[in-house]
C-alpha cells in the first residue's frame, strides 16, 4: 500500500521548516566545520503515542514528542520548527517504498541547542 495519496490531502499536511547540519573537516588545518541550512518540507505532524515513546532512548522517553511523516528524506539530528518549538528528530524509519519517511522528534529547548558550546574546560 502506497501512502503518497495522504500527502495530497491539504487537511492533513502542513509546511514545516527543518534545520539541517552539514559538516566537514577544513582542508588546511583539519578543524571540523559545521553549518546549518534551512529547508521546508510538506509533512503530517501528530503527537507521538505510547508505543513510539518506547522506541526512544531511555533518557528521552519523558520529553514531549511528536511524529513527523514526510515524502522528503528526514535525517537524524534535524531540528524541526513546529508550533513555536524546536523538535530534534531522533528515531527514524525509511518507508520510501511506501512513499514516505517517518520520524519521532522530541522537544529540543534551552541549552540543548545544537550550536551551544556548553562549558569550556580549562
pLDDT in tens, 32-85: 888 889 999 999 999 999 999 888 888 888 889 999 999 999 999 899 999 999
Highest mean pLDDT among 14-28, 80-94, 107-121: 80-94
CATH topology of domain 4-110: Thrombin, subunit H (2.40.10)
Beta bridge pairs of residue 117: none
- The model carries a pTM of 0.79
Q: What is the pLDDT of residue 1?
A: 62
Place of cell 518507508: 95
Each residue's pLDDT tens digit, 5-47:
777 777 889 999 999 988 888 788 878 888 889 999 999 999 9
Quick one: which of 35, 122, 121, 114 has its CA closest to 81?
114
**Backbone torsions φ then ψ of 53, nearest 5 degrees:** -65, -30
The span from the CA of 12 to the CA of 20, in Å, is: 24
H or E element: which one contains 48? Answer: none
Amino acid at each position: 500500500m502506497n501512502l503518497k495519496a495522504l500527502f495530497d490531502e491539504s487537511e492533513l499536511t502542513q509546511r514545516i521548516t527543518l534545520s539541517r547540519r552539514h559538516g566537514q573537516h577544513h582542508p588546511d588545518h583539519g578543524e571540523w566545520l559545521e553549518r546549518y541550512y534551512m529547508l521546508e518540507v510538506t509533512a503530517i505532524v501528530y503527537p507521538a503515542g505510547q508505543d513510539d515513546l518506547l522506541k526512544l532512548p531511555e533518557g528521552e522517553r519523558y520529553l514531549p514528542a511528536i511524529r513527523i511523516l514526510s515524502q522528503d528524506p528526514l535525517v537524524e539530528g534535524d531540528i524541526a520548527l513546529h508550533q513555536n518549538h524546536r523538535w530534534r528528530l531522533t528515531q527514524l524509519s525509511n518507508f520510501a517504498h511506501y512513499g514516505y519517511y517517518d520520524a519521532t522528534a522530541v522537544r529540543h529547548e534551552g541549552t540543548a541547542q545544537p550550536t551551544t558550546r556548553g562549558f569550556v574546560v580549562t
